[in-house]
Structure 1
Amino acid sequence: MSQVSRSILITGGTSGLGFHAATTIAKRRPDTFIVIASRKDPDKAADAINTKLGQRNVQFMPLDLGNIKSVRSFVNAWAEKKLAPISVLLLNAGLQFPGEVSYTTDGLESTFGINHVGHALLFHLIQPYMAEEARIVVTSSGTHDPAQKSGLPDAKYDTAEELAHPTPATLKNDGRQRYSTSKLCNVLWTYALDRRLSRVNKKWTVVAFDPGLMPGTGLARDYGFFLRFVWNKVLPALLPLLRRLLTPNVHTPEESGGNLAWVALDDSDTSGKYYEGRKQIPSSTDSYDQKKQEDLWEWTVNYLSSGQQQKQNFEALT
């Protein structure tokens, strides 16, 4: 791949939404090096994409977003490989923990730690390896917006510290609410980053993306047997009915993967926007609260910085 001039990095690209987005992007950009990053690649997703397309431009790299050491090791490995600059960064991976509160190896509540903190650290550390012109897409969810009546408990953001280290007052909150709140964090962080990009001399854009409801994906892997069965076997067969009864924003993973690829490869200069599929729409009322955006940004930078110099680099987007 020595002649490749650009790279694209996709987290969570080994299955579901990310896999289909990676496949579409690899097909449309055969001259670009595509890296799919997840904890594991049991189904050899990168090989499957290369075989399907008759290409060799997709590679898997291990990344555990719930482990800060793993994120740092991933970026070090990226640097050692001397890969082409990143023109598209898809912060796509996400997990849901519906049961009792769980924690990452670093002691953060898992939903917040994986869906937000791990991605934020990846972005900050990978910046030096991004192209002069780059697009960042953060996969959020319509569940972050109470007005969409998704069926999940409404997102509730008080402080980032409370989300990271739940106190007795929130320790027993519904795990599904932790998920919808983490998706709100994705949008808050997107807007906070966009505001900072507008202040510096970088040709980077950042947007948030809602893939819609996608029955059959691995999101329900931690649910009980019955709910997993309904999610994986029953609901995928009822997509036309779900679209009529619930919302048109119900898709197969392949459809949503195509939409994510479209948003990622959009060559317009749109930034600081929220996409439902390929359509720009307003995000939730809370997502525009700059106090919440700044609380999240500042907590994240303070928590992740390994020293004063790194904190300054993170703040200055260098």
Structure 2
Amino acid sequence: MAYTRSAIVTGGTANLGYFAALEVARQHSDWLVVVCSRSDREHAADMINGVLKQSNTIFMPLDLSDSKSVRSFAKDWSNRNYPPIQALFLNAALQFPGKASYTPEGVESTFAISHVGHSLFFHLLCPNLAPKARIVLTSSGTHDPAMKSGLPDAIYTTAEELAHPPPAIANGPGRRHYANSKLANIMWAYALHKRLNQKVPDRGITVNAFDPGLMPGTGLARESNALGRCVWEKVLPKVTPVLKVLYTDNIHKPEESAASLVRLACSDETAGISGKYFEGRKEIPSSKDSYDEKKIDDLWQWTVKYCAQDEAEAARFENFA
């Protein structure tokens, strides 16, 4: 079958990403739907095809913590001449609750996966985006201290300190790195929206950030200790009704949040909306820090400089070529 468009979902083999890919494939049998992760041990792509009795979902390996893997994916994508990318779900994330963890390239792991890898992924795939393509970054309400999420407050100093934290940050609460990375997701979405409008408004590309809410039972806590995993995977899903009353009503099953995510990325209702932050289906303000233009510019400039191999590539990234 000749597919008309493509959709890519990072972290698409499980949980929110899996259900988002399933829903996109269900709605658009004429699209090629690509689920990406380091591995597909559960055969997610085959499962989606089996459920829908279709064959439009495939798996492609991607390790966002490794720039070589990201570059290999982008090269492979171009070589295969797949259809233009209509929806790009920058969804993958991990939490490392203990002391700071680092990638082989020396970047704090949470920031590397949630922000750096996704940014490089976008820039390398940008030439393959369809007109009016939509990019959605999965962020989190944990980025906003005012939300009182229970995680340590996000603190943005500089992008360099998020990537290579000094001892005061590296030795602090591990989950602060997660909150910081989710703040970076939103700030980068705002930076990208602004620059797309300035440099290539005719392409009509939109970008938004999305909070899926708390989703107990998902694989987000897989780097936690045994007790932490047990509470997250076994206990909290059973007391969700109580949590909704005592804690927040922004608690959902992954398939519920996935439906809201796909609406933002694919629905006619949300066409043309860009530079916004959504909690489920509601557009809401993000944190005070997320609108700080100096911090947004710092993040953008650091990211392009770090991700680009040379000045020529940096220029292409800045101009979305």
- Structure 1 residues 165-174 or 283-292, which shifts more? 165-174
For 2:299, the equivalent position in structure 1 comes to 296
> What residue number does 2:308 align with?
305
What's the CA shift for 1:93? 0.3
Structure 2 alignment gaps of length 5 or more: none
Q: Is 164-173 or 270-279 further displaced after alignment? A: 164-173
Preserved CA contact (<8 Å) 2:74 2:124: yes
**How many matched pairs?**
317
Give matches, 1:1-318, under 5 Å: 1=1, 3-199=2-198, 200=200, 201-267=202-268, 268-318=271-321
What TM-score, normalized to structure 1?
A: 0.98
Give the C-alpha shift of residue 141 in structure 1.
0.2
Q: Secondary structure at the residue paired with 1:275?
A: strand
Shift of 1:247: 0.8
Distance 2:155 2:123 in 1: 26
Give, in angstroms, the shift of residue 168 of structure 1: 2.2
Distance 1:168 1:255 in 2: 39
CA distance in 2, matches of 1:25, 1:305: 31
Mapped partners of 2:139, 2:218: distance in 1 = 15
CA drift of 1:167 comes to: 1.6
Deviation of residue 226 (structure 1)? 1.1
The range that moved more, 218-227 or 119-128, is: 218-227
Q: What SS does the aligned partner of 2:166 have?
A: coil
- The more displaced of 140-149 and 193-202 is 193-202
TM-score (normalised: structure 2): 0.97
Once the two structures are superposed, residues 132-164 of structure 1 have per-residue CA deviations (whole angstroms, 9 ceiling, x without a partner) of 220000000000011111000000000000111
Overall identity of the aligned pairs, in %: 56
Distance 1:168 1:207 in 2: 33
Question: What are the Cα deviations for residues 20-60 of structure 1, in whole angstroms up to 9, with x where unaligned?
Answer: 11111110111110000100100000000000000000000
Q: Which runs of 4+ in 1 moved over 6 A?
A: none
State the AA in 1 paired with 2:7.
I
CA shift, 1:12, in A, is 0.3
The alpha-carbon deviation at position 169 of structure 1 amounts to 2.8
Q: Is the 8 A contact 2:127 2:320 kept in 1?
A: no
- For 1:314, give the aligned amino acid: F
Q: Can you give the 5+ residue segments of structure 1 that lack an aligned partner in the other structure?
A: none
Shift of the alpha carbon at 1:171? 1.9
**Secondary structure in 2 matching 1:152:** coil
Distance in 2 between the 1:261 and 1:156 partners? 30
Aligned partner letter, 1:289: D
Hey, what's the Cα distance between the residues in 2 that align with 1:171 and 1:282?
29
User: What SS is found at the alignment partner of 1:134?
Assistant: strand
Distance 2:300 2:197 in 1: 16
Write out per-residue CA displacement over residues 287-318 of structure 1, whole angstroms, 9 at most, x where no aligned residue.
01111110000000001111111010011111
CA distance in 2, matches of 1:316, 1:266: 28
Alignment deviations for residues 40-89 of structure 1 (CA, whole Å, 9 cap, x no partner): 10000000000000000000000000000000000011111110000000
Q: Match of 1:13, as an amino acid? A: G
